[in-house]
Structure 1
């Protein structure tokens, strides 16, 4: 699919400024007519089969959609028939505000509008330019419609850049490790009972970790940073290998744990526009480092990790270090039903340590009486871990 070239990173501040300037304009437009204009832009540039199907669904959602789209197409026929030189003059008007800030802004229009451009106050911006289009082409119902085609697809790009080019939800089952290959070349491994939402945009990539833990191998792309959102935490990278854990049960329940195997990442608050080079709040982790983020977004101390300490679950192993027994048991339960229960809080508070095979919960249970003052008491379908008599 042919799409307008995305702006370079250096142009991002201008795009942000333009987006803010256009916001009142966009809000003033009829929502259906604006959607029709955006679809016109995308169809003019070319749609793949998936996008064409989405367009057909949009048409089928409401009779007004088809009516708005057909009216827009009819009203813009004469715009498409303009000589190339006139179209280029109109397009040039989009960028005049860069060099004419504080002066009247608009494309050269004398040949297009016999009466000449209408007098107006100085207004250096794309919004003023688009409003002028309604004067130039009074038969077109919305300035957005004209800008969509004459403006080189800028409005379609601005709105389209906020829509994902790829969006999928993935979930692994209990006890399953699921491998995912993304279209950008990145590879993900989902641990047991993990759910993620993947969204890829023209200038950024985003994975929202709803539950579980994931090992990321990110394909580097300086023009499209990769963000992982987990609870109150944002992890931003360019290209690296790292794991993120965010679970409601088991180890570090309610917290987010980030561990870097290769490269570096920046960890900070989810609402901050993070970048690996940014300064300010947050922390930069390099290979062999990890950090735990509390539920309120506060970062703990950066810790050093053993060589095999990142994503040990990929080898079906788990390590406990001074871990409450109840928390250790909850971690095993994430992978499979253990048949073990703790009914005495004082027993659940006992501390355990060591490395265990997640597939051998029976061996873990058998080792407990040798490590702690507990006993195993079968009661019907479960085995109670109780205090030793």
Structure 2
């Protein structure tokens, strides 16, 4: 009797889980032994594994694109993020071939740990940070009586203190990546370093976003001094500016409601290009959405989506804008 559809579906999920485990950089010899027992249990198990390898092999171009986007120095993206050698080893009937492939894959494990393809797991830098949030996670920090920090999704922060030890006073923060709202109510000046610039304030509430080449600083209350590349400006309540390591732009009026929308649990887009909408959704949704249609990417979008329903975003885009949708393991969706 052939396996039922329910059984096949379950085996496919198991195969995908094995794939992620074996390529996480944390797989052990015991994992290897357990996997071989699973993969040789039946023809259905073997078929589920072959199908999983076929799907992930089709992701190689996407992985190469992501590596190229990151512009890793002195690396070849296609080689870095291709696990073809590991896949061949896993198909081999010999134990030595399998273990040899596993060892070869472990050589690149350190690289994919530092530069995780498609953001499927935290990088070494994220794991070593003082505070971090995962995809879709938000976190509140109270750093003493005078400093409160609300961390948005995919945010990495390091604490800067005076002296050493756990009791050291916090005098500043480094925003390595992501977005945070920082409320200050103290007599001493507090600083935030992000993207080559420094923000300083005593009594203020500011939103800092560092999710691309530029840093966006919005003064929600009080005032904050922004310093970068020898330039210095005072930012007043209700204004914002962008800067990078080369300098800063002139301050402009801020849409305060839009800046703080992430704290309400709803993403709202009004006349924003679909490509930009997908980039924002990718910050909150596990996996990755790829848009393979430049013309569709320029479509002006109006939509709202609750963060608790963020997994439904690809289906909403499919229904509202006619995008073709293909779902792959690990939360990866290709729209075209």
Give the TM interval when normalised to the shorter protein: 0.5 to 0.7
Looking at structure 1, the residues matched to 246 and 268 of structure 2 have their Cα atoms a distance apart, in angstroms, of: 26
Q: Say how many residue pairs are matched.
A: 201
Deviations 1:320-364 (A, max 9, x none): 344332232122122222664312233333332444323323554
Is 2:325 the counterpart of 1:377? yes
Task: Report the TM-score, using the length of structure 1 for normalisation.
Answer: 0.46
- Unmatched 5+ residue regions in structure 2? 1-128, 164-168
1:305 to 255, 259, 263: 255
1:313-352 equivalences under 5 Å are: 313-337=262-286, 340-352=289-301
Post-superposition shift, 1:288?
A: 2.1
1:234 to 198, 210, 231: 198
1:196-211 equivalences under 5 Å are: 196-201=157-162, 205-211=171-177
1:263 to 205, 215, 222: 222
1:135-150 equivalences under 5 Å are: none
- Unmatched 5+ residue regions in structure 1? 1-167, 248-252, 273-280
- Alpha-carbon RMSD across the aligned residues, in angstroms, is 2.8
Looking at structure 1, the residues matched to 306 and 234 of structure 2 have their Cα atoms a distance apart, in angstroms, of: 32
Richer in strand (by share): 2
Post-superposition shift, 1:282?
A: 3.4
Deviations 1:221-272 (A, max 9, x none): 1xx311111103221111111110101xxxxx22111112211112231x65
In the alignment, what sits opposite 1:283?
233
Is 2:133 the counterpart of 1:185? no
Contact between 2:136 and 2:286, CA under 8 Å: does it hold in 1? Answer: no
Contact between 2:314 and 2:333, CA under 8 Å: does it hold in 1? Answer: no
Looking at structure 1, the residues matched to 207 and 148 of structure 2 have their Cα atoms a distance apart, in angstroms, of: 12
In the alignment, what sits opposite 2:17?
none
Contact between 2:195 and 2:244, CA under 8 Å: does it hold in 1? Answer: no
Richer in helix (by share): 2
Looking at structure 2, the residues matched to 371 and 283 of structure 1 have their Cα atoms a distance apart, in angstroms, of: 43
Give 3-state SS (helix, strand or coil) of 1:227's partner: strand
C-alpha change, 1:195 and 1:371, in structure 2 (3 Å) is: same
